Amino acid sequence: MRKKLPMGLTLAALLALAGCSQSNETATGASVSNDEVTTLRLSHLWPATSAAHTEIIEPWAKKIEADSNGRIKVEIYPSATLSKPDATYEAAAKGTIDIGTQLQGYTNGRFPLTQVAELPGLSSSATQMNCMLQTLYDEGVIAQEYDDTHLLFMMGTGPGGIHTVDRPIRKPSDLSGLRIRRPSAIAGDIIESAGGTPVGLPATDLYTSLQRGVLDGVSLTWDAMGAFRLIELTNTHTNIPFYSSAMMVTMNKNKYNNLPDDLKKVIDDNSGMAMAKAAGSVFDAQDKKYMAEAQEKGHTMINIPDPLNDPQWKAPLEAGTKKYLNDVSALGLDAQTVYQKAQEASAACKV
């Protein structure tokens, strides 16, 4: 069941209160001329059939259009048709697109402090992850990493697991010799520490890579397994919360700054923590949905709910965590303080 927004409002309820998008008419019914309409092009990587598109991005866009009385129109480009998954943030910064959604892990080293939040043990749900990320941004802990854009809100996934074909992963040594897609450098370090071979590929390439045997398995969240139809190709799943993926929705800074104040307020009113939590509830619901679908298909489920206290998994997870924090510290950044702040935010955001 989807969690509720503050004031008990889901995204759908917010849209109902605001009314349907009025396209090129104002709230009073007066026509808005084309030169008064600001069009924002939004790029994301998910298929148009995914919940991320239909339950997060589309309702947000419609709410923006409705709240602006049709003076803002949001054109959505799903499936990375307008910008590559690993170049969407830079496209928004440069103005090639107006708004973009990207996983920070797709650009290794670009958001090192934000990705501290991906480390194992910090979140057990997408809602907690989103709240933690947004808190770290709002408190200025990671905000400097987004200075070249106007950040709208943070998103994040639930815990990711390992999904293979006929290769049960019960202990780290079971990964030995297997080519496992990693979503980020953090997950890759942990997979490597456990004996596997991490392979970096965007989610949009995973179906064909599994089909052709380029990969032996993937490390991915359940919502992404469903969104990219990977349940069709895998049948063995290790539910081990050893990482979560950070994401963001951000806007070109000049595009935002050039809006009149009342339209900036429309954007601002649909940004921040409320949107982060709403997105988290969608991802959590999808995780449950697709895990249940795999179970109904008779897939093998291996559950390791607390790997940091598991005698076999504890060492590689701790090794991966230490390596990442040391690597970030070597850049001259205060990784330990950010890690401490992430732990505090994690506790405050626990649901």
Return the closest-CA partner of residue 339 out of 173, 187, 142, 127.
142
Whether 114 and 246 have beta carbons less than 8 Å apart is answered as: yes
Other Cβ atoms within 10 Å of 8 Cβ, number: 7
Q: What is the pTM of this model?
A: 0.87
Higher pLDDT, 26 or 191: 191
Query: What is the rounded distance in angstroms from the CA atom of residue 135 to the CA atom of residue 127?
Result: 12
DSSP string covering 56-100, please?
IIHHHHHHHHHHTTTSEEEEEE-TTSSS-TTTHHHHHHHTSSSEE
% of the chain beyond a pLDDT of 70: 90
Q: Which two structure tokens, joined as six digits, stand for 35?
A: 């030169």
Question: Which position has the token pair 């980020």?
Answer: 184
Rounded mean pLDDT, 196-218? 94
Strands of 246-252's sheet in order across: 72-77, 38-43, 99-103, 246-252, 149-156
Rounded mean pLDDT, 184-208? 89
Instruction: Look at residue 33 and tell me whether its pLDDT is greater than 80.
Output: no
Q: What is the largest CA-CA distance in the chain?
A: 68
Query: What is the rounded distance in angstroms from the CA atom of residue 115 to the CA atom of residue 186?
Result: 8
Query: What is the rounded distance in angstroms from the CA atom of residue 256 to the CA atom of residue 346?
Result: 31
Instruction: Look at residue 147 and tell me whether its pLDDT is greater than 50.
Output: yes
Instruction: Look at residue 32 and tell me whether its pLDDT is greater than 80.
Output: no
Does the domain at residues 9-158+245-286 carry the CATH identifier 1.10.600.10? no
Return the closest-CA partner of residue 152 out of 64, 245, 62, 281.
64
Per-residue pLDDT of 217-238, as tens digits, reads 999 999 999 999 999 999 999 9
What does the DSSP 8-state code read for residue 53?
I
Query: What is the rounded distance in angstroms from the CA atom of residue 298 to the CA atom of residue 189?
Result: 31
Query: What is the rounded distance in angstroms from the CA atom of residue 282 to the CA atom of residue 224?
Result: 12
Q: Are strands 161-164 and 236-239 parallel, antiparallel or unpaired?
A: antiparallel
What does the DSSP 8-state code read for residue 159?
-
Angle of helix 314-329 versus helix 335-349 axis, rounded to 10: 130
pLDDT score for 194: 83
Whether 219 and 180 have beta carbons less than 8 Å apart is answered as: yes
Question: Which position has the token pair 């069009």?
Answer: 39
pLDDT score for 26: 40
Type of residue numbered 105? G
pLDDT score for 35: 57
Residue 288 — pLDDT band, cuts 50, 70, 90?
Answer: very high
Type of residue numbered 149? T
